[in-house]
Amino acid sequence: MFFCSRYADIVDIMSKTDPIMQQIAAELSQFVIEKSRGGYNLLDRRCESAIARLRPITDTDRFELFYWSNDRGRWRSFGNLGRLKLTLQRVHEIVAADPIFRSMRR
């Protein structure tokens, strides 16, 4: 439990200096947000495993949504028609409804 509370403190400090992380954390409060290589991972609070990944789209309020592909061993863009430009509200709806985001990455 010590690790979890310390991790939350680190995330809190990082979010104060990163306005995009603040925006994501405000809309998707059920997840722990982790900055990672130009994007943001959404971690399940219970097991801290990555559920989804967001990449901000430059000069917009939109994000590209990714899911973890066990077949390919990497993050894949969500959507059958290519890159989707989603608001955080729409990301929240998709992640809550689509079963692909319930499977654990590991």
Asked, for residue 94, whether it belongs to a domain, the answer is: yes
Question: Rounded distance, CA 60 to CA 87, Å?
Answer: 9
Q: Is the pLDDT of residue 61 over 90?
A: yes
Closest CA to 78 of 102, 106, 100, 103: 100
Asked, for residue 106, whether it belongs to a domain, the answer is: no
For residue 7, the model assigns a pLDDT of 52
Domain residues for the domain of 27 are 2-101
Report pLDDT digits (tens) over 14-43: 556 789 999 999 999 989 999 998 899 999
Asked, for residue 10, whether it belongs to a domain, the answer is: yes
The tally of domains found in the chain comes to: 1
Q: Is the pLDDT of residue 81 over 90?
A: no
* Better-predicted residue by pLDDT, 105 or 41: 41
Whether residue 94 contacts residue 66, with contact meaning beta carbons closer than 8 Å, is answered with no
pTM score, whole prediction: 0.78
Please, what's the b/e burial string for 68-83 (b: 16 or more CB within 10 A of its CB; e: otherwise)?
beeeeeebeebeeeee
For residue 82, the model assigns a pLDDT of 77
For residue 42, the model assigns a pLDDT of 94
Q: Under DSSP, is residue 35 helix (H, G, I), strand (E, B) or coil?
A: strand
